[in-house]
Structure 1
Amino acid sequence: MNASKNITIDWSSPDVLEQIVQNIKNPLENIITASKSSTIYNKDKKDEIIFSSSKEINDIIEEIMSKSKSKSLNLTFQGRPEIFDIYESNENVREMCSEQINPQKITKQDQDWLINLEKEIYGSITQNDLNLYELSYKMAVSERQLHRKIVNLVYLTPNKYVRVLRLHKAKQMIDNYLQSSISQIAYSVGYNDVHYFSRLFIDQYNVSPKELLSSFR
C-alpha cells in the first residue's frame, strides 16, 4: 500500500476558496434552518456567534470571496514580475542568465512592463510556436526592441525567457495537480513533443515531470 502524499494547494487562489465556500454553504444553511425553532442562547458564552438567517452567511461568504479575489488580482497585476521569484529560487535559471538580476536596480516602469509581458506570454502559452513578432506588436515595440529589452532586463534571450516561463507554469500545474498526465501538461504550455518537454523540465528543475507528478499521487 502506497503512503499518502501531501498535495500542495494554492490557498490564495480565489478558485480554491470558492470551492471551499460552496462546500460549506449548504450545510450551514441547513443547520440554521433546523435550529431556528430550537436555538438555545447561553449568555455566559460571549464568544458564541448566532447566525439568525442564511443572509448573514451569504454576506460573510461574499465578503470573503471579494477580499480573496482582490488579493489575488493585486498579487498578479500589482506585484513584481514572476521571473524575479523564479530566478531567486532556481539555481539553474540563474546560471542561464548572462548577468545577475538585481530587482532593486530595475525601475517600477520596467517591472510593470515585464508584468505585462508575462501576461501576454501566459495568454498565448498553449501556442507551440509563440510568434515574437506578434508578441512585440502586443507590447507596442519592434521585434528588435523586444529582444533588446528582455536581454537588458533579465539577461535572457526572448526564447529562453519564454521557455523559463513555460516550464514554470508547467511546474505550477503539477504542484497544484491541475492535470493528470505529462502529455496534457506539455500541451497546455505549448509543447507538442513530450520527450523534449521532459528534457527541458529536467534541465530547469533537476527532476522529471513524471517523477514530480508521481510524488503527489
Structure 2
Amino acid sequence: MNQMSAAAIINWESEAVLSQIADKIHHPLKEIIRLSRYIHTYTEQRDAETNRLSAIVLESSAQLETIVANIVKAEKQKQIEIVVRDKFQFPHLYQWSAASEESSPLDEIFTKSDTSRIPKAELSWLLRLERTVLEHLESSILSISWLAQEMMVSERQLFRKIEKYTGLTPNNYIRKVRLWNARRLLEDYTYTNVCEVASRVGIRDPYYFSKLFAKEFGKMPSQYMQAS
C-alpha cells in the first residue's frame, strides 16, 4: 500500500514534523470526501467508486494508525515535544499563543520569537507557577520574594523566566492572573457583587480593581457581569 508507506517517510527530526503529519492525514481524508461527493453525483459509477472508496478508507485508517504509533514512539524517544496547552487556565498569558490562529488581548506584548518548542521541564515549571499563583490569590503572602521561594529560584531567575515566556514582569504577571481569573468568575456568574469578585482575586480596593479591569478588558466589571 503506497499510502501506508508514506507515513514512514516523515522526517521526525525536522522542525516541520507536525506540518508533515498534518499533510499525511489531510490528503487521504480529502480524497475520501472527494470520492463521496463523486459517488452521489454520478450514480452510474457508484459500484466501482464505492469499492475504491472502501479501499481508501481502509488504507487511510491503517495509515492514521501508523502515524499515531510513530508520534507516540517519537515522543517517548524525546525526538519531539507534545505540548498539552489546555492544562493552563490562562494560555493567552504565554508567548506561544502569539503563533496560534486564535487572537488574544495580549498579542501586543508578545514577541515574535520561535517558542514552538518548550522543554518539558520548563513547561512543568510554568504550570506549577500558574497553579501556585491561582491558589494564593487571596493570601497576603503572595509576593515576589515568597513566589521565588515557592518556585525554588532566586528573584532574579524568577524575573527572567517569567519575562521569557510571558513578556511580563512577575508583578504584572500576577496582576494579569488576578484579572483573568476575575473575568472567569464574572463569566461563570460565581458572584453577583463586584466587591466579592475583587476580594476573591486578592484586590482589596473595589475601585482600583474596577479601574484595572476596565483597562484590561475595555469595560467595567459591572458591565461585563451584565453582558455575561
TM-score, normalization by structure 2:
0.55
Shift in alpha-carbon separation, 1:81–1:109, aligned structure 2, 3 A? farther
1:106 touches 1:153 (CA, 8 Å); kept in 2? no
Measured after TM superposition, the shift of residue 132 of structure 1 is 1.1
Measured after TM superposition, the shift of residue 136 of structure 1 is 0.8
RMSD: 2.4
Give me the whole-angstrom Cα distance separating, in 2, the residues matched to 1:102 and 1:108.
16
2:198 touches 2:206 (CA, 8 Å); kept in 1? yes
2:132 partner amino acid: E
Are residue 127 (structure 1) and residue 127 (structure 2) matched? no
Give me the whole-angstrom Cα distance separating, in 2, the residues matched to 1:202 and 1:120.
25
Structure 1: give runs of 5+ residues left out of the alignment: 1-76
Structure 2: give runs of 5+ residues left out of the alignment: 1-83
**Which structure features the higher share of helix residues?**
2
Shift in alpha-carbon separation, 1:149–1:114, aligned structure 2, 3 A? same
Measured after TM superposition, the shift of residue 104 of structure 1 is 1.4
Corresponding residue number in structure 2 for 1:95: 108
Give me the whole-angstrom Cα distance separating, in 2, the residues matched to 1:203 and 1:128.
24
Measured after TM superposition, the shift of residue 112 of structure 1 is 1.4
1:84 touches 1:103 (CA, 8 Å); kept in 2? no
Alignment counterpart, residue 153 of structure 2, candidates 132, 138, 141: 141
Shift in alpha-carbon separation, 1:129–1:140, aligned structure 2, 3 A? closer
Shift in alpha-carbon separation, 1:90–1:180, aligned structure 2, 3 A? farther
Shift in alpha-carbon separation, 1:200–1:128, aligned structure 2, 3 A? farther
Corresponding residue number in structure 1 for 2:177: 165
Shift in alpha-carbon separation, 1:199–1:102, aligned structure 2, 3 A? farther
Which has the larger Rg?
2
**% same residue:** 29
Alignment counterpart, residue 88 of structure 2, candidates 58, 75, 81: 81
Measured after TM superposition, the shift of residue 195 of structure 1 is 1.2
Per-residue Cα deviation, 1:84-103 (whole angstroms, up to 9, x for no partner): 33564664422244x24755
Corresponding residue number in structure 2 for 1:198: 210
Give the 3-state SS of the residue equivalent to 1:116 in structure 2. helix
Per-residue Cα deviation, 1:34-58 (whole angstroms, up to 9, x for no partner): xxxxxxxxxxxxxxxxxxxxxxxxx
Alignment counterpart, residue 220 of structure 2, candidates 194, 197, 208: 208
Give the 3-state SS of the residue equivalent to 1:105 in structure 2. coil
2:179 partner amino acid: L
Deviates more, 1:120-129 or 1:157-166: 120-129
Shift in alpha-carbon separation, 1:80–1:111, aligned structure 2, 3 A? farther
Measured after TM superposition, the shift of residue 80 of structure 1 is 4.3
Give me the whole-angstrom Cα distance separating, in 2, the residues matched to 1:200 and 1:90.
21
Structure with greater contact order relative to length (CA < 8 Å, sep ≥ 6): 1
Shift in alpha-carbon separation, 1:154–1:198, aligned structure 2, 3 A? same
Shift in alpha-carbon separation, 1:93–1:194, aligned structure 2, 3 A? same
TM-score, normalization by structure 1:
0.57
2:157 partner amino acid: Q
Measured after TM superposition, the shift of residue 191 of structure 1 is 0.6
